Amino acid sequence: MTMPRAWLIANALWLQVGWWACVLGAKVPWLLLLVPLGMAVHLTLCAARGSEVRALLRVTLAGPLAYLGGARLADVTLPLGAVVTSLLLVPIWALALPLLVRLAARR
């Protein structure tokens, strides 16, 4: 299934908005509340909703666990602690990774 060019560009821009909400969420925590909303909008507009949901479920736990493991190996202190950081990373990873995989697969 080939996606129209406008859809791919809009999806990439949506990803960047989500990414910046996550980055700026370090200083303005309420921006992190926009991430699950953005994920819901993406799933509503996505043509292959079933495969997108399966991808989201797969990375929901794997992404944050890998991040926390890397932080521990690099001796990085997480200011919010491991549990709160994990809970914040779950929706972020659930949104970002499937979108990045889809963009990479299109090449």
pTM of the predicted protein model: 0.51
Amino acid type, 28: V
Q: How far apart are CA 104 and CA 55, in angstroms?
A: 14
| Per-residue pLDDT of the chain in tens (107 residues, 90 and over written 9) | 576 888 778 878 888 888 888 788 878 888 878 888 887 888 888 877 888 778 777 767 777 778 788 888 888 888 888 888 888 887 777 777 667 767 777 76
Cα(107)–Cα(95) distance, rounded to whole angstroms? Answer: 20
Return the pLDDT at 46. Answer: 80
Identify the DSSP state of 27.
T
Within the chain, where are the H helices?
5-24, 34-45, 49-73, 81-105
Structurally, how many domains does the chain consist of? 1
Residue 72, domain extent:
5-105
- How far does the chain reach from its first CA to its final CA, in angstroms? 14
